[in-house]
Structure 1
Amino acid sequence: MVAGIDLGSTYTKAAVLAKDRVVGTGITPTIVDLDAAAADALGEALQAAGMSRSDLDMTVSTGYGRRGVDIADHQVDEIYAKARAAKWLGSPWGPVRTVIDIGGQDSKVIRLDEAGDMDTFLMNTKCAAGTGRFLEQMAKVLGVPLEELGGIGEGAEHPVELSSTCIVMAESEVISLIAQRRPVKDIVAGIHRSVAERVGNMVKQIGVEEVVFFDGGPARNVGVKKALEDFLGAELYVPKNPQVSAAIGAAIVARDIIREGKLPDGKPLVGIEADSPMDQWEGPAAGGGGQ
Protein backbone atom coordinates (compact mmCIF):
# COMPACT_ATOMS: atom_id res chain seq x y z
CA MET A 1 0.00 0.00 0.00
CA VAL A 2 1.28 3.48 -0.87
CA ALA A 3 0.33 7.08 -0.24
CA GLY A 4 0.73 10.46 -1.89
CA ILE A 5 0.57 13.82 -0.12
CA ASP A 6 0.03 17.10 -1.97
CA LEU A 7 1.03 20.09 0.15
CA GLY A 8 -0.66 22.93 -1.69
CA SER A 9 -0.64 26.60 -0.84
CA THR A 10 -4.17 26.46 0.57
CA TYR A 11 -4.98 22.82 1.30
CA THR A 12 -2.99 19.67 1.97
CA LYS A 13 -4.41 16.54 0.35
CA ALA A 14 -3.56 12.87 0.71
CA ALA A 15 -4.49 9.71 -1.18
CA VAL A 16 -3.91 6.07 -0.32
CA LEU A 17 -3.64 3.41 -3.04
CA ALA A 18 -4.03 -0.33 -2.51
CA LYS A 19 -4.12 -2.83 -5.36
CA ASP A 20 -4.31 -0.03 -7.92
CA ARG A 21 -7.39 1.51 -6.31
CA VAL A 22 -7.82 4.75 -4.39
CA VAL A 23 -9.03 3.46 -1.02
CA GLY A 24 -8.90 6.67 1.01
CA THR A 25 -8.43 10.42 0.66
CA GLY A 26 -8.01 13.30 3.09
CA ILE A 27 -8.05 17.10 2.88
CA THR A 28 -7.00 19.62 5.51
CA PRO A 29 -6.01 23.32 5.42
CA THR A 30 -2.29 23.92 4.88
CA ILE A 31 -0.75 25.46 7.98
CA VAL A 32 2.72 26.73 8.89
CA ASP A 33 3.58 23.35 10.42
CA LEU A 34 3.73 21.35 7.21
CA ASP A 35 4.46 18.09 9.01
CA ALA A 36 1.26 18.52 11.03
CA ALA A 37 -0.78 19.32 7.91
CA ALA A 38 0.64 16.30 6.10
CA ALA A 39 0.01 14.05 9.10
CA ASP A 40 -3.60 15.27 9.42
CA ALA A 41 -4.40 14.73 5.73
CA LEU A 42 -2.69 11.35 5.64
CA GLY A 43 -4.37 10.30 8.88
CA GLU A 44 -7.77 11.16 7.41
CA ALA A 45 -7.00 9.18 4.24
CA LEU A 46 -5.78 6.17 6.23
CA GLN A 47 -8.85 6.28 8.48
CA ALA A 48 -11.07 6.25 5.39
CA ALA A 49 -9.11 3.24 4.13
CA GLY A 50 -9.35 1.48 7.49
CA MET A 51 -5.56 1.29 7.73
CA SER A 52 -2.66 2.79 9.68
CA ARG A 53 0.65 4.39 8.74
CA SER A 54 2.48 1.17 9.52
CA ASP A 55 0.62 -0.44 6.60
CA LEU A 56 2.28 1.92 4.10
CA ASP A 57 5.19 0.70 1.99
CA MET A 58 6.05 4.17 0.73
CA THR A 59 4.86 7.78 0.81
CA VAL A 60 5.69 10.41 -1.83
CA SER A 61 5.04 14.13 -1.37
CA THR A 62 4.34 16.81 -3.97
CA GLY A 63 3.20 20.43 -4.08
CA TYR A 64 4.70 23.66 -2.76
CA GLY A 65 5.52 22.20 0.63
CA ARG A 66 6.85 18.85 -0.58
CA ARG A 67 10.37 19.47 0.76
CA GLY A 68 9.16 20.33 4.25
CA VAL A 69 7.69 17.02 5.44
CA ASP A 70 9.53 14.27 7.27
CA ILE A 71 6.92 11.55 6.79
CA ALA A 72 7.53 11.38 3.01
CA ASP A 73 10.09 8.92 1.69
CA HIS A 74 10.51 10.77 -1.59
CA GLN A 75 9.16 13.85 -3.36
CA VAL A 76 8.08 14.68 -6.89
CA ASP A 77 7.33 17.86 -8.84
CA GLU A 78 3.60 18.69 -8.84
CA ILE A 79 3.48 19.12 -12.62
CA TYR A 80 4.72 15.57 -13.04
CA ALA A 81 2.30 14.32 -10.37
CA LYS A 82 -0.63 16.01 -12.13
CA ALA A 83 0.36 14.48 -15.46
CA ARG A 84 0.67 10.99 -13.95
CA ALA A 85 -2.72 11.30 -12.27
CA ALA A 86 -4.44 12.48 -15.47
CA LYS A 87 -3.00 9.56 -17.43
CA TRP A 88 -3.92 7.03 -14.72
CA LEU A 89 -7.41 8.37 -13.98
CA GLY A 90 -8.18 8.89 -17.64
CA SER A 91 -11.65 9.79 -18.87
CA PRO A 92 -14.69 7.96 -20.26
CA TRP A 93 -14.16 9.84 -23.53
CA GLY A 94 -10.69 8.53 -24.32
CA PRO A 95 -7.06 9.31 -23.45
CA VAL A 96 -6.36 12.66 -21.79
CA ARG A 97 -4.24 15.04 -23.88
CA THR A 98 -4.65 18.38 -22.06
CA VAL A 99 -4.70 19.03 -18.31
CA ILE A 100 -6.01 22.24 -16.77
CA ASP A 101 -5.28 22.70 -13.08
CA ILE A 102 -6.50 25.74 -11.14
CA GLY A 103 -4.96 25.78 -7.69
CA GLY A 104 -5.21 28.09 -4.73
CA GLN A 105 -2.39 30.40 -5.78
CA ASP A 106 -1.54 29.43 -9.36
CA SER A 107 -2.87 27.81 -12.50
CA LYS A 108 -1.20 25.25 -14.74
CA VAL A 109 -1.86 23.73 -18.14
CA ILE A 110 -0.15 20.56 -19.29
CA ARG A 111 -0.10 18.85 -22.66
CA LEU A 112 0.34 15.09 -22.78
CA ASP A 113 1.71 13.19 -25.77
CA GLU A 114 0.03 10.25 -27.46
CA ALA A 115 1.47 7.87 -24.87
CA GLY A 116 -0.03 9.96 -22.06
CA ASP A 117 3.33 11.29 -20.88
CA MET A 118 4.01 14.95 -20.26
CA ASP A 119 5.01 16.90 -23.36
CA THR A 120 5.03 20.53 -22.22
CA PHE A 121 3.37 22.87 -19.75
CA LEU A 122 2.75 26.49 -18.78
CA MET A 123 2.30 27.83 -15.28
CA ASN A 124 1.04 31.15 -13.94
CA THR A 125 2.48 32.06 -10.53
CA LYS A 126 2.82 35.83 -10.92
CA CYS A 127 -0.81 36.86 -10.43
CA ALA A 128 -3.70 35.50 -8.35
CA ALA A 129 -6.19 36.18 -11.16
CA GLY A 130 -7.32 32.86 -12.59
CA THR A 131 -6.80 31.00 -9.30
CA GLY A 132 -8.85 29.63 -6.46
CA ARG A 133 -7.83 32.57 -4.28
CA PHE A 134 -9.33 34.98 -6.84
CA LEU A 135 -12.67 33.14 -6.69
CA GLU A 136 -12.54 33.01 -2.90
CA GLN A 137 -11.97 36.77 -2.64
CA MET A 138 -14.74 37.54 -5.12
CA ALA A 139 -17.14 35.35 -3.14
CA LYS A 140 -16.25 37.26 0.03
CA VAL A 141 -16.87 40.62 -1.63
CA LEU A 142 -20.28 39.40 -2.82
CA GLY A 143 -21.12 37.85 0.53
CA VAL A 144 -21.69 34.49 -1.11
CA PRO A 145 -20.45 31.09 0.18
CA LEU A 146 -17.66 29.92 -2.11
CA GLU A 147 -19.33 26.56 -2.68
CA GLU A 148 -22.46 28.33 -3.96
CA LEU A 149 -20.68 30.73 -6.32
CA GLY A 150 -20.63 28.32 -9.26
CA GLY A 151 -24.36 28.14 -9.83
CA ILE A 152 -25.22 31.78 -9.21
CA GLY A 153 -24.10 33.01 -12.62
CA GLU A 154 -26.32 30.57 -14.53
CA GLY A 155 -28.85 32.32 -16.73
CA ALA A 156 -27.04 35.67 -16.62
CA GLU A 157 -28.35 37.87 -19.45
CA HIS A 158 -25.63 40.52 -19.45
CA PRO A 159 -22.40 39.23 -17.88
CA VAL A 160 -20.14 42.07 -16.80
CA GLU A 161 -16.64 42.52 -18.18
CA LEU A 162 -13.93 42.85 -15.54
CA SER A 163 -11.12 45.00 -16.89
CA SER A 164 -8.77 44.34 -13.96
CA THR A 165 -6.64 41.20 -13.75
CA CYS A 166 -5.12 42.28 -10.42
CA ILE A 167 -7.12 40.74 -7.57
CA VAL A 168 -7.12 43.99 -5.52
CA MET A 169 -8.32 46.09 -8.43
CA ALA A 170 -10.89 43.45 -9.38
CA GLU A 171 -12.30 43.60 -5.84
CA SER A 172 -12.76 47.35 -6.18
CA GLU A 173 -14.38 46.86 -9.57
CA VAL A 174 -16.86 44.33 -8.17
CA ILE A 175 -17.69 46.63 -5.25
CA SER A 176 -18.39 49.40 -7.77
CA LEU A 177 -20.64 47.09 -9.80
CA ILE A 178 -22.58 46.19 -6.66
CA ALA A 179 -23.04 49.91 -5.95
CA GLN A 180 -24.37 50.32 -9.49
CA ARG A 181 -26.96 47.65 -8.65
CA ARG A 182 -25.81 45.32 -11.39
CA PRO A 183 -27.50 41.90 -10.97
CA VAL A 184 -25.40 39.48 -8.92
CA LYS A 185 -25.91 36.86 -11.65
CA ASP A 186 -24.22 39.14 -14.17
CA ILE A 187 -21.33 39.94 -11.83
CA VAL A 188 -20.68 36.29 -11.01
CA ALA A 189 -20.87 35.30 -14.67
CA GLY A 190 -18.33 38.02 -15.40
CA ILE A 191 -16.03 36.69 -12.68
CA HIS A 192 -16.20 33.21 -14.18
CA ARG A 193 -15.48 34.57 -17.63
CA SER A 194 -12.48 36.47 -16.29
CA VAL A 195 -11.00 33.28 -14.84
CA ALA A 196 -11.79 31.33 -18.01
CA GLU A 197 -10.08 33.88 -20.24
CA ARG A 198 -6.99 34.03 -18.04
CA VAL A 199 -6.57 30.26 -17.91
CA GLY A 200 -7.96 29.61 -21.38
CA ASN A 201 -5.34 31.81 -23.01
CA MET A 202 -2.66 29.68 -21.39
CA VAL A 203 -4.30 26.57 -22.83
CA LYS A 204 -4.40 28.11 -26.30
CA GLN A 205 -0.67 28.85 -26.08
CA ILE A 206 0.16 25.14 -25.86
CA GLY A 207 -2.76 24.05 -28.05
CA VAL A 208 -6.14 22.59 -27.11
CA GLU A 209 -6.22 18.83 -27.64
CA GLU A 210 -9.10 16.72 -26.39
CA VAL A 211 -9.72 15.03 -24.02
CA VAL A 212 -9.31 18.03 -21.71
CA PHE A 213 -8.96 17.04 -18.04
CA PHE A 214 -9.98 19.78 -15.56
CA ASP A 215 -8.83 19.46 -11.97
CA GLY A 216 -8.08 21.46 -8.84
CA GLY A 217 -10.64 22.74 -6.34
CA PRO A 218 -12.23 25.28 -8.75
CA ALA A 219 -13.03 22.42 -11.15
CA ARG A 220 -16.05 21.82 -8.90
CA ASN A 221 -17.34 25.29 -9.83
CA VAL A 222 -19.84 24.66 -12.63
CA GLY A 223 -19.71 28.30 -13.71
CA VAL A 224 -15.94 28.26 -14.27
CA LYS A 225 -16.21 24.93 -16.10
CA LYS A 226 -18.91 26.23 -18.43
CA ALA A 227 -17.04 29.49 -19.06
CA LEU A 228 -13.88 27.56 -19.93
CA GLU A 229 -15.77 25.23 -22.25
CA ASP A 230 -17.30 28.22 -24.05
CA PHE A 231 -13.94 29.97 -24.33
CA LEU A 232 -12.05 26.90 -25.58
CA GLY A 233 -14.82 25.35 -27.65
CA ALA A 234 -14.15 21.99 -25.99
CA GLU A 235 -15.89 19.90 -23.35
CA LEU A 236 -14.00 19.48 -20.09
CA TYR A 237 -13.86 16.25 -18.11
CA VAL A 238 -13.81 16.68 -14.32
CA PRO A 239 -12.69 13.65 -12.28
CA LYS A 240 -14.64 12.44 -9.27
CA ASN A 241 -12.47 14.28 -6.73
CA PRO A 242 -10.50 16.94 -8.64
CA GLN A 243 -8.88 18.43 -5.56
CA VAL A 244 -6.81 15.32 -4.76
CA SER A 245 -5.46 14.40 -8.21
CA ALA A 246 -1.89 15.51 -7.46
CA ALA A 247 -1.88 13.40 -4.30
CA ILE A 248 -3.09 10.45 -6.39
CA GLY A 249 -0.29 11.14 -8.89
CA ALA A 250 2.28 11.13 -6.08
CA ALA A 251 0.90 7.81 -4.83
CA ILE A 252 1.20 6.38 -8.35
CA VAL A 253 4.86 7.43 -8.39
CA ALA A 254 5.34 5.63 -5.05
CA ARG A 255 3.71 2.51 -6.48
CA ASP A 256 5.97 2.56 -9.52
CA ILE A 257 9.14 3.10 -7.46
CA ILE A 258 8.34 -0.04 -5.48
CA ARG A 259 7.40 -2.08 -8.55
CA GLU A 260 10.45 -1.07 -10.58
CA GLY A 261 12.95 -0.83 -7.74
CA LYS A 262 14.23 2.53 -8.96
CA LEU A 263 13.41 6.22 -8.88
CA PRO A 264 11.64 7.81 -11.87
CA ASP A 265 14.96 9.21 -13.15
CA GLY A 266 16.42 5.70 -13.28
CA LYS A 267 18.53 5.87 -10.10
CA PRO A 268 18.46 2.58 -8.21
CA LEU A 269 16.35 2.46 -5.07
CA VAL A 270 19.03 0.48 -3.23
CA GLY A 271 20.90 2.56 -0.66
CA ILE A 272 18.39 5.44 -0.50
CA GLU A 273 17.16 6.17 3.00
CA ALA A 274 13.49 5.20 3.18
CA ASP A 275 12.81 7.56 6.07
CA SER A 276 14.38 10.70 4.60
CA PRO A 277 13.16 13.23 2.03
CA MET A 278 14.18 12.52 -1.54
CA ASP A 279 17.73 13.31 -2.72
CA GLN A 280 16.03 15.51 -4.57
CA TRP A 281 14.46 14.24 -7.76
CA GLU A 282 12.22 16.90 -9.24
CA GLY A 283 10.80 15.02 -12.20
CA PRO A 284 11.08 15.82 -15.91
CA ALA A 285 8.79 18.82 -15.42
CA ALA A 286 11.83 20.74 -14.22
CA GLY A 287 12.41 21.38 -17.94
CA GLY A 288 9.39 20.86 -20.13
CA GLY A 289 9.09 24.38 -21.52
CA GLY A 290 7.32 25.83 -18.47
CA GLN A 291 7.51 29.42 -17.34
Structure 2
Amino acid sequence: MATTQRLDSQVILITGGARGIGRATAEALVARGARVVLTDLDQPALDEAVAALGSESCLGVVADVCDLAAMEAAVAAALERFGRLDVALANAGVASYGSVLAIDPAVFRRTVDINITGVFHTARAALPALEQAGGYLLVVSSLAAFAPAPGLAAYNASKAGVEHFANALRLEVAHRGVDVGVAHMSWIDTPLVQDAKDDLPSFRKMLSKLPPPLNRTSPVQACVDAFVAGIEKRSRRVFCPGWVRGAFLNRNAINSRFGTRQTLAMVPEILPQMDAEVRALGRSTSARNVANDERVTGS
Protein backbone atom coordinates (compact mmCIF):
# COMPACT_ATOMS: atom_id res chain seq x y z
CA MET A 1 0.00 0.00 0.00
CA ALA A 2 1.30 3.46 -0.96
CA THR A 3 2.41 5.75 1.85
CA THR A 4 0.64 9.11 1.97
CA GLN A 5 3.08 12.02 1.90
CA ARG A 6 2.50 15.32 3.67
CA LEU A 7 2.32 18.20 1.22
CA ASP A 8 3.05 21.10 3.58
CA SER A 9 6.80 20.78 3.03
CA GLN A 10 6.72 19.91 -0.66
CA VAL A 11 7.89 21.95 -3.66
CA ILE A 12 5.96 21.01 -6.79
CA LEU A 13 6.65 21.95 -10.41
CA ILE A 14 3.59 22.08 -12.70
CA THR A 15 3.92 22.58 -16.45
CA GLY A 16 1.00 24.25 -18.19
CA GLY A 17 0.23 25.78 -14.82
CA ALA A 18 -1.32 29.13 -15.75
CA ARG A 19 -4.86 27.88 -16.38
CA GLY A 20 -7.12 24.84 -16.43
CA ILE A 21 -6.18 21.73 -14.50
CA GLY A 22 -2.64 23.00 -13.88
CA ARG A 23 -3.71 26.16 -12.12
CA ALA A 24 -6.57 24.50 -10.22
CA THR A 25 -4.21 21.79 -8.99
CA ALA A 26 -1.71 24.46 -7.92
CA GLU A 27 -4.45 26.19 -5.91
CA ALA A 28 -5.34 22.94 -4.16
CA LEU A 29 -1.70 22.16 -3.38
CA VAL A 30 -0.99 25.63 -2.00
CA ALA A 31 -4.10 25.32 0.18
CA ARG A 32 -2.44 22.21 1.66
CA GLY A 33 0.76 24.09 2.41
CA ALA A 34 2.82 23.18 -0.65
CA ARG A 35 4.87 25.63 -2.66
CA VAL A 36 4.47 25.52 -6.42
CA VAL A 37 6.48 26.48 -9.47
CA LEU A 38 4.31 27.06 -12.53
CA THR A 39 5.58 27.08 -16.09
CA ASP A 40 3.57 28.30 -19.07
CA LEU A 41 3.89 30.26 -22.31
CA ASP A 42 1.14 32.74 -21.44
CA GLN A 43 2.84 35.45 -19.38
CA PRO A 44 -0.33 37.42 -18.44
CA ALA A 45 -2.15 34.26 -17.31
CA LEU A 46 0.94 33.14 -15.42
CA ASP A 47 1.23 36.52 -13.67
CA GLU A 48 -2.44 36.31 -12.73
CA ALA A 49 -1.97 32.83 -11.25
CA VAL A 50 1.03 33.94 -9.18
CA ALA A 51 -0.86 37.00 -7.91
CA ALA A 52 -3.81 34.84 -6.90
CA LEU A 53 -1.70 32.19 -5.17
CA GLY A 54 0.75 34.58 -3.51
CA SER A 55 4.40 35.09 -4.40
CA GLU A 56 5.53 33.52 -1.12
CA SER A 57 4.01 30.20 -2.20
CA CYS A 58 4.17 30.40 -5.97
CA LEU A 59 6.85 31.09 -8.56
CA GLY A 60 5.92 31.58 -12.21
CA VAL A 61 8.41 30.88 -14.99
CA VAL A 62 7.70 31.48 -18.68
CA ALA A 63 9.04 28.38 -20.41
CA ASP A 64 8.28 26.25 -23.46
CA VAL A 65 8.32 22.54 -22.60
CA CYS A 66 9.68 21.93 -26.11
CA ASP A 67 12.87 23.78 -25.10
CA LEU A 68 15.06 21.66 -22.81
CA ALA A 69 17.22 24.62 -21.79
CA ALA A 70 14.11 26.55 -20.77
CA MET A 71 12.91 23.67 -18.61
CA GLU A 72 16.35 23.30 -17.02
CA ALA A 73 16.24 27.02 -16.24
CA ALA A 74 12.79 26.61 -14.68
CA VAL A 75 14.07 23.85 -12.40
CA ALA A 76 17.10 25.97 -11.51
CA ALA A 77 14.77 28.84 -10.61
CA ALA A 78 12.75 26.50 -8.41
CA LEU A 79 15.86 25.34 -6.57
CA GLU A 80 17.14 28.88 -6.16
CA ARG A 81 13.80 30.10 -4.79
CA PHE A 82 12.70 27.15 -2.65
CA GLY A 83 15.86 25.07 -2.22
CA ARG A 84 14.42 21.73 -3.39
CA LEU A 85 12.04 20.02 -5.79
CA ASP A 86 9.90 17.13 -4.56
CA VAL A 87 7.35 16.61 -7.31
CA ALA A 88 7.00 17.40 -11.01
CA LEU A 89 3.58 17.30 -12.67
CA ALA A 90 4.04 17.04 -16.45
CA ASN A 91 0.67 18.56 -17.26
CA ALA A 92 1.26 20.72 -20.35
CA GLY A 93 -0.54 19.35 -23.39
CA VAL A 94 -2.50 20.35 -26.48
CA ALA A 95 -4.97 18.78 -28.89
CA SER A 96 -5.41 19.07 -32.64
CA TYR A 97 -8.38 18.77 -34.98
CA GLY A 98 -9.05 16.82 -38.14
CA SER A 99 -8.48 13.45 -39.74
CA VAL A 100 -5.06 12.21 -40.81
CA LEU A 101 -5.89 13.36 -44.35
CA ALA A 102 -7.05 16.81 -43.24
CA ILE A 103 -4.85 17.94 -40.33
CA ASP A 104 -2.11 20.48 -40.94
CA PRO A 105 1.11 18.40 -40.75
CA ALA A 106 2.82 21.19 -38.81
CA VAL A 107 0.09 21.03 -36.16
CA PHE A 108 0.44 17.25 -35.97
CA ARG A 109 4.18 17.64 -35.32
CA ARG A 110 3.64 20.40 -32.77
CA THR A 111 1.07 18.30 -30.89
CA VAL A 112 3.45 15.36 -30.65
CA ASP A 113 6.34 17.67 -29.74
CA ILE A 114 4.50 19.28 -26.83
CA ASN A 115 2.78 16.14 -25.56
CA ILE A 116 5.75 13.75 -25.77
CA THR A 117 8.98 15.71 -26.16
CA GLY A 118 7.69 18.24 -23.64
CA VAL A 119 7.27 15.48 -21.06
CA PHE A 120 10.76 14.18 -21.84
CA HIS A 121 12.21 17.66 -21.31
CA THR A 122 10.28 18.05 -18.05
CA ALA A 123 11.56 14.71 -16.79
CA ARG A 124 15.13 15.29 -18.00
CA ALA A 125 15.30 18.69 -16.31
CA ALA A 126 13.62 17.65 -13.06
CA LEU A 127 15.09 14.20 -12.39
CA PRO A 128 18.37 15.24 -10.73
CA ALA A 129 16.47 17.33 -8.17
CA LEU A 130 13.77 14.67 -7.76
CA GLU A 131 16.43 12.05 -7.11
CA GLN A 132 17.99 14.22 -4.43
CA ALA A 133 14.59 14.62 -2.75
CA GLY A 134 13.39 11.03 -3.25
CA GLY A 135 10.58 12.57 -5.26
CA TYR A 136 7.78 11.82 -7.67
CA LEU A 137 6.97 12.55 -11.31
CA LEU A 138 3.32 12.43 -12.43
CA VAL A 139 2.89 12.28 -16.21
CA VAL A 140 -0.49 13.33 -17.61
CA SER A 141 -1.68 10.89 -20.24
CA SER A 142 -5.37 10.31 -21.05
CA LEU A 143 -8.14 7.81 -21.63
CA ALA A 144 -7.26 8.54 -25.28
CA ALA A 145 -4.07 6.51 -24.81
CA PHE A 146 -6.15 3.33 -25.07
CA ALA A 147 -9.60 4.51 -26.25
CA PRO A 148 -8.90 6.51 -29.42
CA ALA A 149 -11.33 8.94 -31.02
CA PRO A 150 -11.48 9.64 -34.78
CA GLY A 151 -10.26 13.07 -35.80
CA LEU A 152 -7.87 13.25 -32.84
CA ALA A 153 -5.09 10.94 -34.06
CA ALA A 154 -2.22 13.22 -33.02
CA TYR A 155 -3.60 13.55 -29.50
CA ASN A 156 -4.36 9.83 -29.24
CA ALA A 157 -0.88 8.85 -30.45
CA SER A 158 0.91 11.34 -28.21
CA LYS A 159 -0.98 10.28 -25.09
CA ALA A 160 -0.29 6.60 -25.80
CA GLY A 161 3.36 7.45 -26.38
CA VAL A 162 3.74 9.45 -23.20
CA GLU A 163 2.13 6.65 -21.17
CA HIS A 164 4.74 4.17 -22.36
CA PHE A 165 7.50 6.75 -21.89
CA ALA A 166 6.46 6.94 -18.23
CA ASN A 167 6.35 3.14 -17.97
CA ALA A 168 9.94 2.91 -19.25
CA LEU A 169 11.12 5.80 -17.07
CA ARG A 170 9.63 4.14 -13.98
CA LEU A 171 11.93 1.16 -14.58
CA GLU A 172 14.95 3.41 -15.07
CA VAL A 173 14.61 5.53 -11.93
CA ALA A 174 13.06 3.23 -9.32
CA HIS A 175 16.50 2.30 -7.96
CA ARG A 176 17.27 6.02 -7.70
CA GLY A 177 14.39 6.51 -5.28
CA VAL A 178 12.11 8.34 -7.73
CA ASP A 179 8.50 7.20 -8.24
CA VAL A 180 6.70 7.70 -11.55
CA GLY A 181 2.94 7.84 -12.03
CA VAL A 182 0.67 8.15 -15.05
CA ALA A 183 -2.70 9.94 -15.03
CA HIS A 184 -5.54 8.88 -17.30
CA MET A 185 -8.61 11.09 -17.55
CA SER A 186 -11.75 11.07 -19.64
CA TRP A 187 -13.29 14.34 -20.87
CA ILE A 188 -12.63 17.09 -18.34
CA ASP A 189 -14.21 20.55 -18.56
CA THR A 190 -10.90 22.27 -19.32
CA PRO A 191 -10.07 24.96 -21.90
CA LEU A 192 -8.87 22.13 -24.17
CA VAL A 193 -12.32 20.49 -24.25
CA GLN A 194 -14.16 23.83 -24.17
CA ASP A 195 -12.20 25.06 -27.20
CA ALA A 196 -13.00 21.90 -29.15
CA LYS A 197 -16.70 22.24 -28.34
CA ASP A 198 -16.69 25.90 -29.37
CA ASP A 199 -14.77 25.31 -32.60
CA LEU A 200 -16.34 22.07 -33.80
CA PRO A 201 -20.07 21.24 -33.73
CA SER A 202 -18.97 17.79 -34.94
CA PHE A 203 -17.03 17.29 -31.70
CA ARG A 204 -20.16 18.00 -29.65
CA LYS A 205 -22.12 15.63 -31.89
CA MET A 206 -19.49 12.90 -31.46
CA LEU A 207 -19.70 13.21 -27.68
CA SER A 208 -23.49 13.00 -27.79
CA LYS A 209 -23.32 9.75 -29.74
CA LEU A 210 -20.93 8.01 -27.36
CA PRO A 211 -22.48 5.64 -24.81
CA PRO A 212 -22.41 6.58 -21.13
CA PRO A 213 -20.16 7.13 -19.31
CA LEU A 214 -17.93 7.98 -22.32
CA ASN A 215 -20.20 10.90 -23.26
CA ARG A 216 -19.90 12.64 -19.90
CA THR A 217 -17.61 15.56 -19.11
CA SER A 218 -16.27 15.73 -15.56
CA PRO A 219 -15.63 18.97 -13.65
CA VAL A 220 -12.06 20.18 -13.27
CA GLN A 221 -12.29 19.73 -9.50
CA ALA A 222 -12.72 15.97 -9.89
CA CYS A 223 -9.44 15.84 -11.79
CA VAL A 224 -7.72 18.10 -9.26
CA ASP A 225 -8.81 15.84 -6.42
CA ALA A 226 -7.45 12.81 -8.28
CA PHE A 227 -4.13 14.52 -9.01
CA VAL A 228 -3.66 15.71 -5.43
CA ALA A 229 -4.46 12.24 -4.07
CA GLY A 230 -2.04 10.73 -6.58
CA ILE A 231 0.72 13.11 -5.53
CA GLU A 232 0.07 12.45 -1.84
CA LYS A 233 0.23 8.67 -2.36
CA ARG A 234 2.95 8.68 -5.07
CA SER A 235 0.49 6.61 -7.10
CA ARG A 236 1.57 4.45 -10.00
CA ARG A 237 -1.76 5.13 -11.76
CA VAL A 238 -4.27 7.97 -11.38
CA PHE A 239 -7.72 7.70 -12.94
CA CYS A 240 -10.46 10.29 -13.34
CA PRO A 241 -13.31 9.49 -13.14
CA GLY A 242 -12.94 6.17 -11.36
CA TRP A 243 -14.52 4.15 -14.18
CA VAL A 244 -11.49 4.92 -16.37
CA ARG A 245 -9.62 2.27 -14.35
CA GLY A 246 -11.99 -0.33 -15.77
CA ALA A 247 -11.40 0.93 -19.28
CA PHE A 248 -7.65 0.72 -18.67
CA LEU A 249 -7.94 -2.88 -17.54
CA ASN A 250 -10.09 -3.74 -20.57
CA ARG A 251 -8.17 -1.79 -23.20
CA ASN A 252 -7.82 -4.79 -25.52
CA ALA A 253 -11.58 -5.30 -25.57
CA ILE A 254 -12.15 -1.59 -26.22
CA ASN A 255 -9.97 -1.77 -29.33
CA SER A 256 -11.41 -5.06 -30.58
CA ARG A 257 -13.70 -5.27 -33.59
CA PHE A 258 -16.66 -5.56 -31.22
CA GLY A 259 -15.48 -2.71 -29.02
CA THR A 260 -15.07 -0.25 -31.90
CA ARG A 261 -18.31 -1.02 -33.71
CA GLN A 262 -20.23 2.01 -32.39
CA THR A 263 -17.41 4.40 -33.21
CA LEU A 264 -17.04 2.95 -36.70
CA ALA A 265 -20.75 3.48 -37.27
CA MET A 266 -20.54 7.22 -36.57
CA VAL A 267 -17.34 7.95 -38.53
CA PRO A 268 -18.93 8.28 -42.02
CA GLU A 269 -21.11 11.10 -40.71
CA ILE A 270 -18.89 12.78 -38.10
CA LEU A 271 -15.44 12.79 -39.69
CA PRO A 272 -16.31 14.54 -43.00
CA GLN A 273 -18.19 17.17 -40.99
CA MET A 274 -15.19 17.69 -38.71
CA ASP A 275 -12.81 18.02 -41.65
CA ALA A 276 -15.11 20.56 -43.30
CA GLU A 277 -15.23 22.56 -40.06
CA VAL A 278 -11.44 22.46 -39.77
CA ARG A 279 -11.09 23.78 -43.34
CA ALA A 280 -13.56 26.56 -42.56
CA LEU A 281 -11.64 27.49 -39.40
CA GLY A 282 -8.37 27.64 -41.30
CA ARG A 283 -6.56 25.99 -38.40
CA SER A 284 -6.16 22.49 -36.99
CA THR A 285 -6.03 23.48 -33.33
CA SER A 286 -7.57 26.04 -31.00
CA ALA A 287 -7.01 29.77 -31.37
CA ARG A 288 -5.40 29.71 -27.92
CA ASN A 289 -2.78 27.19 -29.10
CA VAL A 290 -2.12 29.28 -32.20
CA ALA A 291 -1.51 32.31 -29.96
CA ASN A 292 0.89 30.32 -27.78
CA ASP A 293 2.79 29.11 -30.85
CA GLU A 294 3.11 32.73 -31.97
CA ARG A 295 4.63 33.57 -28.58
CA VAL A 296 7.26 30.90 -29.21
CA THR A 297 8.05 31.98 -32.77
CA GLY A 298 7.60 35.71 -32.15
CA SER A 299 5.38 35.97 -35.25
The normalised TM-score by structure 1 is: 0.31
Kindly indicate which of the two structures has a greater share of residues assigned to strand: 1
Q: TM-score with structure 2 length normalisation?
A: 0.30
